[in-house]
Copies of this chain bind each other. A is one copy, B any other.
């Protein structure tokens, strides 16, 4: 299978889950010390992951947890981000300009910074109070959600926490690679059909909103240089729907959290107004050993990523376009 290293992918997920004691240690210390608010700080792809973590917590807890966009922070500011706040971030390079600039401002305030920073010695690794380094692509969400889960566990919102992670540790890694194998045929067919689309619309809600946001921007636009637009399922029905006709390529990501009904509304509408739609539903990818009640937590966007990863691998080959080259980003100053 193209661009698929089963052993490495299993090890990456297993290793990410094994970070849990480290995450717990940080969260427990912050919990002891008390905090006023929690902010997931991000930009681009990490902003998308932050939205997923915060939407997840909002549905299950009254913890004061917010998304903070890095560039909005150092321009507009946020006076509710204080010395007593916990700020959680993630970075592969540890040098993302806007996040570094935001963190420099946050350090003046004195908030507690937890960074999942993959590059030791980088600016962000140096700046954070607590750094967890585990450079494995595709594990950012697991890290963000582990912090979220521990916070909810401490807050009394997640009784089955240990049982849940026991399930993940036993079954998640294997389940995800099996899902990816299952999705490969679909990924090829989708790539063949859509690899020259002039524009592709991706729709999602709940944890799939962050998924379509980052998929359209960080994968189609940034990596594949294909034009795409993400739109929240609820917002799609308030404007964007009017430009859809028979030939418009539209893909809906259906997950398994509380906002699924918002995407189902779109799923219900599309066949009547469009002849070029695709539904990707994580329910089509059962994972042995993960109980039904736990699927909505972290699983559905990880599963979606397994599916989209298959599309990307085939698009890369068919379009003769290496995903790791950039026209402009980090190529010159602007």
Interface residues of A (CB under 8 A from B): 43-45, 47, 55, 58-59, 61-62, 64, 69-72, 75-80, 98, 198-199, 205-206, 217-218, 221-223, 225-227, 229, 232, 234-235, 237-244, 257-259, 261-262, 265, 268-269, 272-273, 326-329, 334
Contacts and interface: CB of A to CB of B under 8 A. Distances in A.
Contact of A221 (B226, B232, B242, B258): B242
Given A242-B328, A242-B329, A72 B268 contact: no
23 contacts: A43-B234, A43-B235, A44-B239, A45-B239, A55-B76, A59-B76, A59-B77, A61-B79, A64-B80, A71-B262, A72-B234, A75-B206, A75-B262, A76-B257, A77-B258, A217-B240, A222-B238, A222-B242, A225-B243, A237-B334, A238-B329, A242-B326, A269-B334
Contact of A76 (B70, B218, B235, B259): B259
Nearest to A257: B76
A218 B269 CA distance: 19
Given A58-B78, A217-B238, A243 B259 contact: no
Given A61-B79, A242-B328, A273-B327, 9 more contacts: A43-B234, A43-B238, A47-B238, A58-B77, A62-B80, A76-B257, A244-B328, A268-B334, A269-B334
Contacts of A98: 234
Contacts of A77: 58-59, 258
Nearest to A334: B269
A206 B199 CA distance: 27
Contacts of A72: 55, 205, 234, 259
A272 B218 CA distance: 22
Nearest to A227: B243
Contacts of A217: 235, 238-240
Identical chains bound together, number = 2
A75 B242 CA distance: 24
Contacts of A234: 43, 69-72, 98
A328 B226 contact: no
Contacts of A58: 76-79
CB-CB nearest 7 A-B residue pairs: A44-B238, A71-B234, A62-B79, A217-B239, A269-B334, A222-B239, A59-B76
A224 to B, nearest CB: 9
A113 to B, nearest CB: 20
A272 B334 contact: yes
B206 A221 contact: no
